[in-house]
Chains A and B, each alone.
Chain A
Amino acid sequence: MADPPLADPHRHDDHDHAAAAQAQMVTHEPSPEYLLLERALRELLIAHGVFPADAVGRQIDLTDSRNEARGAQLVARAWVDADFKRRLLSDAKAAATELGIDVSNTPELIVLENTPRLHHLVVCTLCSCYPKAILGIPPAWYKSREYRARAVKDPRGVLREFGTALGDDVELRVVDSTADLRYVVLPMQPAGTQGLSERALAPLVTRDSMIGASLPRSPRNEYKPRP
């Protein structure tokens, strides 16, 4: 079961039922029964003309075509173009559309800017909500119960495990996407990369840096000029 709140132990009795039900729903692998159920349901929906058979394949292709390169494109553009950054922070979907990224029929999107004083870490404690239109399929760790529990009550410990050290004066803000909005982090541009082109910057922007679990790559190891 999910870890209960530590500060108020008297609450535990109130939601034992809910916790038990929740524990039942969460398994690590889809069971053979569910796989069979999925197949039966899919075949019925196709047989009844709810959607054509090739729609399944097309949706899988669309899902596969979405990956973190889109997010990296947004971040790199924001680093080199202050006006674009403003638009990205005020209306992320419109800014994504500007770059030719299709975000129609996807949930509302908010981009959160990291600064020297504020670091965001995104989690979905209830399930695994994730900005798929911009980052693709979430990594397994993002969906794990361990991450979802620890991100809210031991986020600095989680960040340490990702190799991310935050200063003592930085506000760490954990963003729990509990409802209709999806969140992407705009990480800080790595030191020493000012003047680099958008194309050179985009490969530095990792998926995890847009979740807030880590920082963008530093270019030093990537292309150090030979003496």
Chain B
Amino acid sequence: MKARFQVGDAVRVADRWPEAGPARCHVRTPHFLRGRSGTVERVLGEFPNAEELAFGKPGLPKVPLYTIKFRETELWADGGFRLQDTLTADLYEHWLEGTHG
């Protein structure tokens, strides 16, 4: 599976909440990043899908994984941040949407 995004691309984390549904699920996208916008910091390669590995499945095909960088001041209303402060998280491609930013 070819990586859809490259370093520097603006992306948005999907605002999905599968935990709120009836099906059992395992999700590696933190709540506080859902619906938030960031940029691709690193393309990490392809990894078995952790959301399936958690249920004893092979997690194939592998999915591209990225380090996404966010501005802390855009994530939190008040955290004593400096404008330049950032946060990164490693997110699987199916949680990312392209933006025109």
Contacts and interface: CB of A to CB of B under 8 A. Distances in A.
Nearest to A9: B77
Given A5-B31, A152-B32, A181-B44, A14 B90 contact: no
B20 interface: yes
Contacts of B88: 173-176
A171 B84 contact: yes
B80 A178 contact: no
Contacts of B90: 176-181
Contacts of B78: 6
A167 to B, nearest CB: 9
B28 A174 contact: no
B38 to A, nearest CB: 12
B47 A179 contact: yes
B24 to A, nearest CB: 10
Q: Is the interface of B mostly helix, strand, loop or mixed?
A: mixed
Contact of A4 (B31, B82, B92): B31
A176 B17 contact: no
A177 B67 CA distance: 9
Q: Is the interface of A mostly helix, strand, loop or mixed?
A: mixed
A5 B75 contact: yes
Interface string A2-40: 101111100100110110010000000000000000000
A179 B91 contact: yes
User: What's the interface size class on B, roughly?
Assistant: 20 to 34
Contact of A6 (B19, B76, B91): B76
B76 A176 contact: no
A154 B20 contact: no
Contacts of B19: 15, 17-18, 21
A125 B29 CA distance: 10
Contact of A180 (B17, B50, B79): B50
A178 B86 contact: no
Nearest to A167: B82
A103 interface: no
B20 A157 contact: no
B7 interface: no
Given A4-B31, A5-B31, A18-B31, A173 B87 contact: yes
A178 B30 contact: yes
B55 interface: no
Contacts of A66: none
A125 B75 CA distance: 15
Given A5-B32, A172-B72, A172-B81, 11 more contacts: A4-B31, A4-B32, A6-B77, A156-B80, A156-B81, A169-B84, A170-B84, A176-B89, A178-B89, A179-B47, A180-B44
Interface of B: 17, 19-20, 28-32, 34-35, 44, 47, 50, 65, 69, 72, 74-82, 84-92
Interface of A: 2, 4-8, 11, 14-15, 17-18, 21, 108, 125-126, 152-157, 168-181
